Copies of this chain bind each other. A is one copy, B any other.
Amino acid sequence: MTEASTNTPFHAWWEERGSANRSEVTRIPFSALDGWGFERQGGNLTHASGKFFAVEGLRIESDDGRQAHQPIIHQPEIGLLGILVKTFDGVPHCLMQAKMEPGNLNTLQLSPTVQATRSNYLRVHGGSRPRYLEHFWGTGRGRAPVDVLQSEQGAWFWHKHNRNMIVQVDGDIPVHEDHRWVPLPELLGLLHMDNLVNMDARTILGCLPAAMLPARTRTDAFGEALGQSYETGDGAQEALGWLLDVKGRGRWNTRLIPLDETHGWTRQDEEIAADDGSGFRVIAVRVRSLHREVPEWTQPLLAPRGDGRAVFLVRRAGDTLHLLVQARYEPGLLDHVELAPTARTPAIAADEEVPFLKDVLSADADRIHFDTVLSEEGGRFHHALTRYQVIEMPSDFSPDLRSEVGMNYRWMTVRQLMELVRHGHYLNIEARSLLACLHSLR
């Protein structure tokens, strides 16, 4: 059996990878994009090859006929995010990758074994095959305890979903210098480091089945209640009925439109921005890397204005921790409404206006059980940071869930969320990230 790791501690390896993967990302005007351009008819921002993604327009029509417009990223194909897992000395280890993405604040983040586009795994354009792909695609695939299609940000992506996989292997696996076997308990612990574990890794970890979770180690009152939340709550059938109630009340009229027709947005040389300064901008960058297969490239990125926040409010009911889950509409979600954290503020939102959030912004430190700034997908988003939090409310915190606002919220256990995350279209990307974070608190 191959050794799981050298004797180098994780942080030494990480630092060394950082030195070896230097790269430079610079803002450029759209006119300096190579292969990318605004289509003559409609003005969508596309690549000449038809590959990669496009920036198009989105029209959202509400029940009363009012319209809202915005740019949105459209990539009508399914990517593959996979973590290879092998057990060494009884402990599952994940083969993680130190990977550069142009939108990352800090260049490298800890990424899944494989992040592959459809072109990568089908090799339709004869390009190079990502390392370790053979374990996830084709006849050589191993046993997959996680294999599920999951959504991504419905505010920024049109109908984007990726295949989330965990594949278990027994045989010898050569470890490339950018890869490293990380024990699963240590990997979950790394979620507490700002901007380290990337979004693609988090969404996969959020799909972990109960059988793969490390044994509980925490024995304080919060830990006991959290542990009980993994055992309690039979069936999520009623929660699905509630989700359908929320979906049923809405009318979901969203459609792609030409980028030129997004009213309220203006294209300048270096950015496409909302006239009212809200939301995000579309920008362009040049990437110089000493390490990627393509040594230099240019691409558009979506740059949120300021940082966001994603919070699960939790409370102890009896001996069990419950999470206040929101059924949340996002215009780009394929199925319109998915289960989300209690509060999710996009960049620069007025946190005070978000239900339940105002009261906890100044919560005591001992009620904040998780609080880490983590990055969203660096291949598409520029410096998109989200502050992920798990905040405990007093046991008598009891919002009115029959009010017009409250109807979109429901108390659920971790076990119920884990049952639902086995299928797509149920938990949104931030809920899955926070589920991974909860796994780190056991």
Contacts and interface: CB of A to CB of B under 8 A. Distances in A.
A402 to B, nearest CB: 9
A144 B243 CA distance: 14
Contact of A78 (B50, B241, B248): B248
26 contacts: A50-B65, A63-B124, A76-B251, A76-B252, A77-B248, A78-B244, A80-B248, A118-B248, A118-B249, A118-B251, A121-B248, A137-B248, A144-B237, A147-B237, A147-B240, A147-B241, A148-B240, A148-B244, A149-B244, A149-B247, A256-B256, A334-B334, A334-B335, A335-B424, A423-B423, A424-B425
A367 interface: no
A252 B256 CA distance: 14
A42 to B, nearest CB: 11
Interface string A28-52: 0000000000000000000000100
A248 B164 CA distance: 12
A263 to B, nearest CB: 15
Given A248-B121, A425-B424, A241 B76 contact: no
Given A149-B247, A335-B334, A425-B424, A144 B241 contact: yes
B240 A77 contact: no
Interface residues of A, number: 38
Interface in A397-442: 423-425
A379 interface: no
A355 interface: no
Nearest to A240: B147
A197 B147 CA distance: 37
A255 interface: yes
Contacts of A264: none
Interface string A66-94: 00000000001110100000000000000
A387 interface: no
Contacts of A76: 251-254
A163 interface: yes
A250 interface: yes
Given A77-B248, A118-B251, 12 more contacts: A63-B124, A77-B250, A77-B251, A118-B248, A137-B248, A147-B241, A149-B244, A149-B247, A256-B256, A335-B424, A335-B425, A424-B425
A227 to B, nearest CB: 26
A363 interface: no
A122 interface: yes
A121 B249 CA distance: 9
Nearest to A423: B423
